[in-house]
Structure 1
């Protein structure tokens, strides 16, 4: 009697485990990889790199600091930007 109860419990948990595994490989794991890649890109920013912010502004890195990144929007305007708002780095095509 007890073995059939354990078998029934395992059979009821199996679809839930399969669903969690699918969710892990399709949602959680790719997000973790993307976050790691973004963090590495932020850490590798240096003076002269061109970036695009999440707001759509294109800027040039003037000085990466610990908590902020100083960026130049044009020749006259230098602002501090929180690193989380860097969307991507523009790679030179040359």
Structure 2
């Protein structure tokens, strides 16, 4: 009796067709598409905007450095920017370490 039941179950299981092999990759492709559109693409857009801001730095702009310092730009070179952190405190920084360019009136409060 046991072998008859196993024979019936194996016949029923083998009667159905297996899904095509490419169907196994559909979830992976879908996850990659979601990852691209929700994470990678917005990040690349932000990096491009920051790069264009940093390339457009000119004398007198106020910038935020990677270390968190607000500074005024005194002189700009191809790779370096001379920054004034305070009265008579000047530093030379790589342009790639500039985290943001602060607009001329500062940042608007979050509750406005």
* TM-score computed with the length of structure 2 as normaliser: 0.73
Deviation of 1:75 after TM superposition, in Å, equals 2.3
RMSD: 1.8
Deviation of 1:81 after TM superposition, in Å, equals 0.7
Deviation of 1:9 after TM superposition, in Å, equals 1.6
Deviation of 1:43 after TM superposition, in Å, equals 0.6
Q: Which of the pair has more CA radius of gyration?
A: 2
Gaps of 5+ in 1: none
Number of residue pairs matched by the alignment: 90
Q: Distance in 2 between matches of 1:42 and 1:63?
A: 13
Match of residue 29, structure 2, among 17, 36, 58: 17
- Spell out, residue by residue over 1:29-86, the C-alpha distance to the aligned partner (whole angstroms, 9 max, x if none): 0111011001000011000001111211110001111111111112212111111221
Gaps of 5+ in 2: 1-16, 107-112
Structure 1 residue ranges, 4+ long, deviating more than 3 angstroms after superposition: none
Which secondary structure does the structure 2 equivalent of 1:47 belong to?
A: coil
Q: Tell me which residue corresponds to 2:78.
A: 66
- Greater CA deviation, 71-80 or 10-19? 71-80
Q: Distance in 2 between matches of 1:80 and 1:15?
A: 50
Q: Tell me which residue corresponds to 2:4.
A: none
- Asked if 1:52 corresponds to 2:64, the answer is yes
Q: Tell me which residue corresponds to 2:48.
A: 36
Q: Distance in 2 between matches of 1:14 and 1:56?
A: 44
